């Protein structure tokens, strides 16, 4: 670690790293996907997640309490597609055909899933908290789909999945998850 001297930089949305997720929804009757980095797991039992969607997004119209949508975890090989879904709007572009996504459906209708992504979560909107600029969408995770080649002994092997990570401002880069540095829930036991 470097110097412990600090400077203040004001209120910032700086948090590192963030996932670069693809949120899938049916909007105006059409499948659409948008990039979202402001997402997290929110509850354990039942499994729930949350994602912050700016109210002006086309995708926001497709997120309705009680209705399905999807969260797709892309791999680093899909950086171009993730970025495209984050700079173009489904209001004017068919992102599915532009990105060449193969869309499939699981147990929920209206939750479009991307076959090329190694992990897909089928979700149902549980609650939406309206914040000043963003809608915090809180959702139940109903089902998960994992590409078989990302499993080892039936469990997710993150190195095979190679999920894409977003490194926010000022870097604004997509990256791999770095190397492991210690065992979680174990390294601290020595203190």
Ligand X SMILES: Cc1cc2nc3c(=O)[nH]c(=O)nc-3n(C[C@H](O)[C@H](O)[C@H](O)COP(=O)(O)O)c2cc1C
- CA 12, CA 50: separation in Å to the nearest integer? 20
Q: In what order do the strands lie in the sheet with 165-167?
A: 18-19, 165-167, 173-175
The C-alpha atoms of residue 18 and residue 30 are separated, in whole angstroms, by 28
Among 31, 32, 78, 124, binds ligand X (CB under 6 A): 32
Q: DSSP string of 82-106? A: HHHHHHS-TTT--HHHHHT--EE--
What's the closest the beta carbon of residue 111 comes to ligand X, in angstroms? 16
Q: Choose the stretch contacting ligand X; rule: CB under 6 A; options: 31-39, 71-79, 124-132, 177-185.
A: 31-39
Residues 164/76, Cβ–Cβ less than 8 Å: yes
Contacts of 144 (CB under 8 A, 6+ apart): 119, 120, 121, 122
Beta carbon nearer to ligand X, 74 or 161 = 74
Pick from 19, 42, 57, 72: which binds ligand X (CB under 6 A)? 57
Q: Does 34 bind ligand X (CB under 6 A)?
A: yes
Candidates 47-55, 120-128, 144-152, 183-191; binding stretch for ligand X (CB under 6 A):
47-55
Taking CB under 6 A as the criterion, the residue among 26, 36, 49, 114 binding ligand X is 36
**Residues 165-184 close enough to bind ligand X by CB under 6 A:** 166
Residue whose tokens read 């975890």: 73
CB nearer to ligand X: give 30 or 151: 30
Task: Determine the interface stretch with ligand X among 41-49, 64-72, 88-96, 97-105 (rule: CB under 6 A).
Answer: 88-96
Write the DSSP symbol of residue 80. Answer: H
Which chain residues interact with ligand X by CB under 6 A?
A: 20, 32, 34-38, 52-54, 57-59, 83, 86-91, 166
């Amino acid at each position: 670690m470097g110097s412990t001297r600090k400077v203040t930089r004001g209120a910032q949305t700086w948090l590192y790293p963030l996932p670069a997720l693809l949120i899938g929804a049916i909007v105006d009757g059409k499948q659409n996907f948008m990039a979202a980095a402001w997402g997290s797991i929110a509850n354990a039992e039942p499994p729930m997640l949350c994602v912050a969607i700016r109210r002006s997004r086309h995708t926001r119209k497709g997120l309705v309490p009680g209705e399905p949508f999807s969260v797709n975890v892309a791999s680093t090989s899909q950086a171009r597609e993730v970025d495209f879904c984050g700079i173009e709007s489904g209001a004017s572009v068919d992102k599915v055909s532009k990105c060449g996504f193969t869309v499939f459906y699981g147990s929920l209708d209206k939750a479009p899933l991307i076959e090329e992504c190694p992990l897909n979560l089928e979700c149902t909107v549980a609650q939406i908290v309206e914040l000043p600029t963003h809608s915090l969408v809180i959702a139940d995770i109903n089902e998960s789909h994992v590409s078989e080649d990302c499993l080892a002994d039936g469990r997710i092997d993150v190195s095979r999945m190679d999920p894409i990570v977003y490194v926010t401002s000022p870097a604004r880069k997509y990256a791999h998850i770095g190397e492991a540095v210690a065992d979680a829930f174990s390294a601290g036991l020595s203190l």
